[in-house]
A and B are shown apart, each in its own frame.
Chain A
Amino acid sequence: MANLKEMMQDHILDRPNSYIGKSVPRPNAKRLLAGRGTFTDDINLPRQSHVAFLRSPYAHAEIVKIDVTSAEASPGVIKIMTGQEMAKICTPWVGVLSHLEGIKSAPQHALAIGKACWQGEPVVAVVAKTRSQAEDAIDLIQVEWNELDVVVDMERALDSDIPVIHDELGDNLTWQRNVDCGDVDAAFKNADHVIEETYISNRHTGVCLETRVIVADYNPGEEQLTVYLSTQCPHMMQNLFAKHLGLEEHKVRIICKDVGGSFGVKVHSYPDEYATAALAYCLKRPVKFTADRLESFTSDIHARDHRINTKIAVSNEGEIQAFEIDDLTGIGPYSVYPRTSGIEVNQVVNLTGGQYKNRNYRAQARVVLQNKSPMCQYRAVGHPVLTLITEGMVDDAARRIGMDPLEIRRKNLIPDDSYPCTAPTGLPFEKLSHHACLEKLAKMLDYDALQKDKREARENGIYRGIGVATFIEVTNPGATFYGIGGAAISAQDGATLRLDAKGNLIVEISVTEQGQGAEAVVAQCAATAMGISLDKVRVITGDTDVTPYGGGTWASRAAAIGGEATVQAGKALKKNIIEVAGIMLQADPATLDIYNNNVVDKSNNTERISLEEVGRICYYRPDTLPKDYQSELVVTRHYVPKQFPFAFTNGVQGCYVEVDTNTGFVKFKKYVVVEDCGTVINPQLVDEQIRGGVIQGLGGALYEECLYNSEGQFLNGTMADYLVPMAVEMPDIEVGHVETPTLESELGAKGAGEAGTGGAPAVIMNAINDALSPLGGKVTRQPFTPERILMAIGKIT
C-alpha cells in the first residue's frame, strides 16, 4: 500500500509546483519576436548555389525534346539537369502502403521523364550562383511539348472516353474502399424519413506563409549529406533521402530550424526537394531551393477535393437509423509519397457518423487520378469533410422532422457513460464526452437567447442562423497509421534529458516545433517531472544527429506523445539524481524528492542539496563518490500509445451568423468551441491551436479554392487571387474545455492541433443554412461564397 501511495505522490498530475495546466509563455517565441528566428531560407552556406525549376506549363503533355544549349551559356549557370540524368542519382518512388489494400500508383521521379502530369511538375533543374540567374537561364530552355488530353473533372475520370494517365495502371482508379455495417437496407426501408443530399468539399491548400525551403549540402570527405529543411518529420526525411540517393542513413543529417507554418504541407516529400538534395550530392556543394508563391500553389499538396452523396434515415421521434455515403475524391496524378493520398478518404469512411449511436452504416469511396496538383494530407485530414457531411445530414434530418438541432444530437450522440465502445467501422473509443461538451456549448452560446434573437430578427427581415457541429478527431496515432503499411515513419518518439553541471536541464526530443508550442509543452513536462524551474530547461528539436529517433509532428501527436516521453524520462532522471544525492547526503533515497531545483526532504520540502551542487560533484568531483558507483545524469525514454490505435478527442462547435440576403455576405455574431483533448498541458497554447485551426477551417469553408479550367490550368495561383482569411472578417472565438484524460499515458493528454479545422466547415454551413431556411435555400457546396448563397435563395441564377 505504501508503494501505491508513493506512486500516486509521484504521479505527474500530482506534483507540487506543477507547470501542467499553466499558461506559461513559450520561451522560443522571443527570438521570433525580435526578428532573430532562423527559418530555412535565412540559412546561407559557403559556396552555396541556387536551384530553380522549369515546371510543366501543361496539365498533361509529352516532353518531346529539351534544348538547354543557350541556357547553359547563361551567366552564373553551374548545372542543368533533366529527368533522365536525375534518375541516375535519385531513384523513383511509388506512393502506396500495404494496409490500404489495393491502392496503386505509378513510379514518380524527381524530374519528370517522358511526360508531365500536372501543371507545375518539375521538369528541368537549373543550378546557378544566384536564384535570379537560375531563373534567367530557365527562360532560355527550349522544350518541345506535345499536349495530351487531360483528366480534370474527377466525376469523369473513370469514363471510358477519358485517357488513362498512367498506362501501366490500366485505369484512373487508384483506390477504393467499401464498408457495410449493420443492416442499412432494412433501416432505409423501414425509416419514417430518408433524406438525400450531395455535398461538395472544395480543393484547397495549406498556404504556409513560409513556403517550402531546403538547403542541401554534400561533403564528399565525410560522405555526408546535410539537409536544412522546413519539415515536420526530420527522421522520415532522413530515411527517404538516404533511400533514394543510395546513401547510408546515418550519413544523412536533417536539420530543421524554425518552420513558418506547416499544417501537413511539410509532412510529405516533394520531387523538387529530392532534386535539390540530389544536385547537392552531385555537385558536392550547397544547393538552396526556396519555392516562390506560384510554385507553392502548384506544387504543395492540395487537399479535400471530395464529392459526397449522402443519405440518412431518421424516425419521426428523431432517432437516426442509418447513414450511407458515396465519396469520390480526385488526388492529382500520383498518390503522394510516402503517406499516400488514400488516408483522407479512409478517415471519411472510418469516421463518418462516428459520434452517434447508430450502427447501420454503409460507405463507398473511390479515389481517382487526374491532371491537377497532387493531393494529400492537410491539417485535420478528412475530418472537415466527414464532419461537414455528418453534421449536414443530422441537420437535414432535424429540419425534416421539425426537431431542434441540439435535441436531435442529445438523442443520438453516444452517451458519456457507455465507454469504451466502438464506431460502426470498429474503431475503438476509449472515452469521449459528447454530451458534457454539448451542454457546455449550449450554455456558452446562450442557446435559448440566440433562438429568441433569431426569431425576433426574422420578424424584421434579418436572417440569422445558429450552427452546431459535433465532432470526433483522431489524435496520437500509434503504428496503425503508417508503420503497419510499410512506411518508414516512426510511431514512437523519444526524449533525452541531461542534467548539466550547473543544474540546468537540456531536453533533446524527436517531436518538432512548428509554432504550435511543442517545445514549450515539452519544457513544462520536463520541469514538472523533474521538480525544476522552467527557466532552467532548454529544449532542442529538429536535428537527426542530436535528438532520439522519432516521428515528428503530425496527426496532433507532438504534445501528447512527446510530452509523455518527456515525463517518463524526467521521472527516471529524477530517480537517478535522488539516488546519487542519497549517497552524497547519506540519506535513504526514499525520503528524498526534488522540488524547486533542490533535492529536498520528501516529508517537508526542506532543502538538502541543490541540483547545481549535485551536478558539480557528479561531473567535477566523482572522486568523492564511492569507487563502485557511477552516476547517470542522462536518461532517454520513448513512448508510443499501444492499447488504442488512436486517442480520439471530441468536441462541439457552435456559431451564430447573420446572412445579408442582398449581398450574400456572412457576418459572425458569435463563435464558441468546446473540446476535450484530455489533460490540458498549457491552456493558452491549446486555445490558440483551436482558434487558429477554426480560422483555417473557415478559410476552406468560405474563401479558399484551387480553381482549374477545363485544360487543367491552375487559375488562381497568387495570394491576391486565392483568398485566405484576413483579420477584418474573422470572429473572436470563445473556447471551453471538458477534460477526459486518456488512461493510456500518465499525462493523459490527447492532441489538440486539428480539432478546430475539423469542425469549422460544418458549423458555418449549418449556421448559414439555418439562416436561409425560411427562404427555402440551402448551401452544400464549399466554399460558401456570397454568389452561392445568393443562388441558393434564388436572388441570382
Chain B
Amino acid sequence: MDNIEQIKINTVVNGEKVEAFVEPRLSLVDFLRNELELTGSHVGCEHGVCGACSIQVDGSVVRGCLMLASQADGADVISIEGASDAGIVADLQKAFHERNALQCGFCTPGMLLTSSELLDQKKNPTRAEIREYLSGNYCRCTGYEAIIDAVETVAIDRAGSSHNGKS
C-alpha cells in the first residue's frame, strides 16, 4: 500500500543475498512467491494448518504463512528450490519419485522439507513416528502411505550407508 511504511530486510535466500523493502503485513511465503518468484513453496490454508508453505529458516522448518517477511531479516532461508538444487533432499526426491509419493505435487515441497528435518533429527524413525511427524503436512491426494514408504526407504538407506561408512 502506498502509505504504509516499508521495512528493509537483509536475508540470504537459497544462498543468495537478498535486500528488499517489504510491507509489514507481507508473509514470508508471499515474499518468496511474489517478490522473489520462488513459487515452489505453496499456500494451502494461510493459517498454519496444512504445511504446504513449509520453508527452512535458520535450519528449522517453519510455516511461511505464519512468519512475516520482516521477521526473516538476518535469517538464512532455504526453500524447496534451494534444497533441491543443493542436493539436500536428493535421496528423498528419488524415493518419492520411485514410490509415486506425490500426485498433484502441491503438498510435496513441504513434505520433502519436513521429512528431511525428521531424518536429520532421528536416524531410524518407525512408520508411526514418520506418520506423527508429517501430521502437520496435509496431503489430499495420496492417502499418505506412499509418502511414509518413501521416507522410510530413505531412512533405511541412510542408516545403511552411514553404517557402511563406519565399517
A249 to B2, CA, bound (A): 40
- A258–B106 Cα gap in the complex (Å)? 9
Contact A696-B140, Cβ < 8 Å, known A25-B100, A29-B102, A261-B104:
yes
User: B2 touching A75 by the CB < 8 A rule?
Assistant: yes
- The answer, among B45, B81, B96, B104, for a CB contact under 8 Å with A36, is B81
Q: CA A208 – CA B52 in complex, angstroms?
A: 12
Q: Mark B27-65, 1 if CB is under 8 A from A, else 0.
A: 000000110011111111111011010000000000000
B119 at the interface (CB under 8 A from A): no
Report how far A44 CA is from B35 CA in the complex, Å.
11
Give Cα distance in the complex from A775 to B95, angstroms.
Answer: 46
| Count of residues in B whose CB is under 8 Å from the partner chain | 59
Pairwise interchain contact B132-A32, C-beta atoms closer than 8 A: no
A719 sits at the interface (CB 8 A)? yes
A517 CB to closest chain B CB, in angstroms?
7
B104 contacts A730, CB within 8 Å? no
| A727 with B42: CB separation less than 8 A | no
Contacts of B3 in A (CB 8 A): 75
Q: B25 to A33, Cβ gap below 8 A? A: no
CA distance A724 to B143 in the complex (A): 11
Is B158 interfacial (CB-CB < 8 Å)?
A: no
- Alpha-carbon distance A133/B43, docked complex (angstroms): 19
Alpha-carbon distance A210/B140, docked complex (angstroms)? 10
Q: Do residues A260 and B105 form an inter-chain contact, with CB atoms below 8 A?
A: yes
Cα distance, A302 to B43, chains bound together (Å):
21
B-contact 0/1 string along A664-678, CB 8 Å cutoff:
000000000000000
A26 sits at the interface (CB 8 A): yes
A209 touches B142 (CB 8 A): no
Among B43, B144, B147, the most chain A Cβ lie within 10 Å of the Cβ of B144
CA of A476 to CA of B148 in the docked complex: distance in angstroms?
A: 32
Given contacts A33-B93, A136-B1, contact A728 B45 (CB under 8 A): no
* In the complex, A685 has a CB within 8 A of chain B: yes
Contacts of B79 in A (CB 8 A): 35
Instruction: Let me know if B107 and A33 touch, CB within 8 A.
Output: no
Q: A35-B41, A35-B79, A692-B142 are in contact. Are A515 and B104 (CB under 8 A)?
A: yes
Q: Which residue of B lies closest to A698 (CB)?
A: B143
A151 CB, nearest partner CB in chain B, Å: 30
User: What are the residues of chain A within 8 A of B84 when measuring CB–CB?
Assistant: 33-36
Chain A nearest CB: distance from B50 CB in Å? 6
Contact call A691/B44, Cβ cutoff below 8 A: no
Q: A29-B97, A133-B1 are in contact. Are A719 and B102 (CB under 8 A)?
A: no
A510–B41 alpha-carbon span in the complex (Å): 29
Knowing A515-B102, A688-B142, the reply to whether A210 touches B44 (Cβ < 8 A) is yes
In contact, A720 and B107 (Cβ under 8 angstroms): no
Q: Are B81 and A293 in contact (CB under 8 A)?
A: no
Q: Determine whether the beta carbon of A719 is less than 8 Å from that of B97.
A: no
Asked if A786 is at the interface (CB within 8 A of a chain B CB), the reply is no
Q: Do B137 and A261 have beta carbons less than 8 Å apart? A: no
Question: Is A146 close to B, CB under 8 A?
Answer: no
A141 within 8 A of B: no
A468: shortest Cβ distance to chain B, in Å?
Answer: 20
- State the CA gap A37–B47 with chains docked (Å): 23
Cβ of A65 within 8 Å of any chain B Cβ, yes or no, is: no
Contact of B141 with A by CB under 8 A: yes
The residue that B138 contacts in the complex, of A30, A136, A726, with Cβ under 8 A, is: A726
Tell me if A532 is interfacial: C-beta within 8 Å of chain B.
Answer: no
User: Which residues of chain A are near B146, meaning CB under 8 Å?
Assistant: 688, 691
Q: Name A's interface SS.
A: loop
Q: List which A46-89 residues lie within 8 A (CB) of chain B.
A: 75-76
| A209 and B103 in contact, given A688-B146, A719-B45 (Cβ under 8 angstroms) | no
Cα A545 to Cα B161 with chains together (Å): 50
The residues of A that contact B25 with a CB separation of less than 8 Å are 132
Closest partner residue, chain B, to A294 (CB atom): B46
Among residues of A, the one whose C-beta sits closest to the C-beta of B136 is: A726
**Contact across chains for A209 and B106 when beta carbons are under 8 A apart:** yes
Contacts A33-B112, A136-B1, A688-B142 given; does A514 touch B100 at CB 8 Å:
no
Per the bound structure, the CA–CA distance linking A207 and B50 in Å amounts to 11
Among residues of B, the one whose C-beta sits closest to the C-beta of A726 is B135
Q: Please tell me if the beta carbons of A719 and B144 are within 8 angstroms of each other in the complex.
A: no
Name the B residues within 8 Å of A292 (CB-CB): 46
Query: Given A29-B97, A29-B100 in contact, is the A691-B143 Cβ separation under 8 Å?
Result: yes
- Nearest A-chain residue to B103, judged by Cβ: A515
Count residues of A near B (Cβ-Cβ below 8 Å). Answer: 59
Residues of chain B with a CB closer than 8 A to A728's CB: 128, 131-132, 134-135
Interface status of B157 (Cβ within 8 A of chain A): no
* Cα-based distance from A108 to B131 in the complex (angstroms): 44
Given B1, B44, B143, which contacts A209 in the complex, CB threshold below 8 Å? B44
Contact of B106 with A260 in the complex, beta carbons under 8 Å: yes
Decide if A210 touches B109 in the complex (CB within 8 Å): no
Which A residue sits closest to B38, measured CB to CB?
A35
Chain B residue contacts of A514, Cβ below 8 A: 103-104
Whole-angstrom CA separation of A727 from B139 in the bound complex: 8
* Contact A26/B100 with A36-B81, A719-B50 known, Cβ cut-off 8 Å: yes
Q: Please tell me if B70 contacts chain A, counting CB pairs below 8 Å.
A: no
Residue B98 is within 8 A (CB to CB) of chain A in the complex: yes
Given contacts A728-B135, A732-B145, contact A720 B97 (CB under 8 A): no
Contact with B along A359-399 (1 / 0, CB 8 A): 00000000000000000000000000000000000000000
Q: How far is the CB of A51 from chain B (nearest CB, A)?
A: 16
Given A261-B106, A720-B49, A25-B97 contact (CB < 8 Å) = yes
B11 at the interface (CB under 8 A from A): no
**The residue from B106, B112, B132, B138 contacting A719, defined by CB atoms under 8 A apart:** B138
Distance in angstroms between the alpha carbons of A141 and B51 in the assembled complex: 33
A688 in contact with B140 (CB, 8 Å): no
Q: Give the CA-CA distance A691 to B144 in the complex, in Å.
A: 8
Contact A33–B96 (Cβ < 8 Å):
yes
List residues of chain A with CB within 8 A of the CB of B104: 32, 208-210, 258-262, 514-515
Q: A42-B39, A726-B135 are in contact. Are A33 and B47 (CB under 8 A)?
A: no
* Contact across chains for A209 and B50 when beta carbons are under 8 A apart: yes
How long is the Cα–Cα vector from A504 to B98 in the complex, in angstroms?
Answer: 24
Chain B residue contacts of A724, Cβ below 8 A: 138, 140
Contact (Cβ within 8 A) A35 B109: yes
Nearest CB of chain A from residue B64's CB, rounded to whole Å: 13
Closest Cβ of chain A: how far from B59's Cβ, in Å? 19
Of all chain A residues, the one with the shortest Cβ separation from B105 is: A32
Give Cα A516–Cα B25 distance, bound, in whole angstroms: 37
Interface centre among B37, B131, B148 (most CB of A within 10 A): B131
Q: A36-B81, A207-B140, A210-B106 are in contact. Are A719 and B49 (CB under 8 A)?
A: yes
Please judge, given known A-B contacts A75-B1, A75-B3, whether A34 and B80 are in contact too, CB under 8 Å.
yes
A100 within 8 A of B: no
Does B105 lie within 8 Å of A258, measured CB to CB?
A: yes
Q: Are A209 and B42 in contact (CB-based, < 8 A)? A: yes
CA distance A209 to B54 in the complex (A): 14
Residues of chain B within 8 A (CB-CB) of A718 are 45, 47, 49
Type the 1/0 row for B111-139, where 1 means its CB is closer than 8 Å to any CB of A: 01000000000000001101110110111
A93 vs B119: C-alpha distance when bound (angstroms): 53
Q: Which of chain B's residues have a CB closer than 8 A to the CB of A36?
A: 40, 81, 84
Q: Are B140 and A208 in contact (CB-based, < 8 A)?
A: yes
Chain A contacts with B in 120-134, Cβ cutoff 8 A: 132-133
What are 17 pairs between A and B in contact, CB < 8 Å? A33-B84, A35-B41, A36-B81, A39-B39, A42-B39, A76-B2, A206-B140, A209-B107, A209-B141, A258-B104, A685-B100, A718-B47, A720-B45, A727-B130, A727-B137, A728-B131, A730-B131
Chain B residues at the A interface, C-beta cutoff of 8 Å: 1-3, 23, 25, 33-34, 37-47, 49-50, 52, 79-81, 84, 93, 96-100, 102-109, 112, 127-128, 130-132, 134-135, 137-148
Please name the 9 residue pairs, one residue from A and one from B, whose CB atoms are nearest each other, closest first.
Answer: A35-B40, A32-B105, A515-B104, A35-B80, A260-B106, A695-B143, A515-B103, A42-B39, A691-B143
Q: A688-B100, A692-B141, A727-B139 are in contact. List 10 more A-B contacts (CB 8 A).
A: A42-B33, A76-B2, A208-B140, A209-B50, A258-B104, A259-B104, A515-B141, A691-B143, A719-B47, A727-B135
